[in-house]
Amino acid sequence: MTKKVLVFVLALAVATAFSLPVLAQNVITGKIQALNETAKKITINKTEYSLSDEAALANFKVGDEVEATIEGKVVKKLVRVLQ
């Protein structure tokens, strides 16, 4: 029985560890107010974020309406919002 409990607790810990990054993600929608591709910085809704390598490769400009997937203070993904 003790072995079964230990396996259950270990499985629960592993499942929790893999789900935490997903829970930390936040999706925002707004207009790009500033973009510095060299420094990999972007300002959306008056908040500055860092750009991940993937998001930095996207072709966006100031004034674009975007949906950004944020993890911490880093934009992981940018998608243009159709107007």
CA distance 71 to 22: 9
Tokens 């930095």: give the residue. 56
Q: Is the whole model's pTM more than 0.75, yes or no?
A: no
Query: Per the domain annotation, does 36 fall within a domain?
Result: yes
* Per-residue confidence (pLDDT) for residue 82, from 0 to 100: 80
3 has pLDDT over 90 = no
The CA radius of gyration of the chain, in Å to the nearest whole number, is: 18
Structure tokens at 39: 């420094």
43 pairs with which residues across the strands?
A: 34, 48
Q: Could you read off the pLDDT of 30-79 as tens digits, one per residue? A: 999 999 988 999 999 999 999 998 888 888 999 999 999 999 899 999 99
How many domains does the chain divide into? 1
* Per-residue confidence (pLDDT) for residue 23, from 0 to 100: 53
How many residues appear in the chain?
A: 83
Q: The CATH number of the domain where 66 resides is what?
A: 2.40.50.320
Query: Per the domain annotation, does 74 fall within a domain?
Result: yes
